[in-house]
Amino acid sequence: MKKSVVAEWRRYEDRYRLMGSVCLLCKENFFPRVTHCVRCGSSDVRDRLFLREGEIYSFSKIHVSPEQFQKQVPYYVALIKLDNGPVISSQIVDVGSEKLFVGMRVYAVFRKVSGTGEQALTYGIKFRLTKK
């Protein structure tokens, strides 16, 4: 589907800065930002900037991708548990020959996510393996 520039613009803050929400009533964290708490129903939620470090909760190496990611194949996708935040979905980049495992430490970096040629470019947070 063609990307809508407006729809991408709405998520700039979340995607560029790792900005999520915290529920002031029950303390649940969310990413991306929400307008009310999914857990307790409260609309008393505030923006919260999450720390840029965490660990791999699960991962996969994608060998067959949708069209707009074909230049990146193969690439790693992962669920990452942020140190002071929720589990979020992203990619792991610059892996080289290292073997990934559950629990591995990672940190956030800013990267292009998708888009080539005539498609709109999108950017966001991806993760790199933390050096020991």
Partner 1 sequence: MNVFVSGQYMTKFGEHFEKSLLDLSLEATFGALTSASLTKDTIDAIVVSNMLSDTLSGQGHLGALISGSLGLTVEAFRVEGACASGGIAVKKAVDMLKAGTHKNILVLGVEKMCDHSSSETTQALTNASDAEKEAFYGITFPGLYAMMARRYFYEYQIGQAELAAVSVKNHYHGARNKKAHFPKEISEKVAMTSSKIADPLRLFDCSPISDGAAALVLSSHEPQSQRKPVRIVGSSIATDSVSLQERKSLTSIKAAELAGKRAYIEAGISSNDVDVAEVHDCFTIAEILALEDLGFFKRGTAGYATMQKKTYYDQEMPINTSGGLKSCGHPVGATGVKQVVEITEQLQGTAEGRQVDNPQYGLTHNVGGSGATCAVHILTNTL
Binding site for Zn ion (CB under 5 A): 23, 25-26, 28, 37, 39-40, 42
Residue 7: what are its φ and ψ, rounded to 5°?
A: -65, -35
Nearer Cβ to partner 1 (3/25): 3
The verdict on 63 binding partner 1 (CB under 8 A) reads yes
Q: Within a 10 A sphere around the Cβ of 87, how many other Cβ atoms? A: 14
Are the beta carbons of 87 and 108 closer than 8 angstroms?
no
Q: Which among partner 1, Zn ion, none contacts residue 60 (Cβ within 5 to 8 A by kind)?
A: partner 1
Provide the total of helices (H) and of strands (E) in the chain, helices listed first. Answer: 2, 8
Instruction: Tell which one of 19, 77, 93, 95 touches partner 1 (CB under 8 A).
Output: 77
Of residues 42 and 60, the one with the C-beta less far from Zn ion: 42
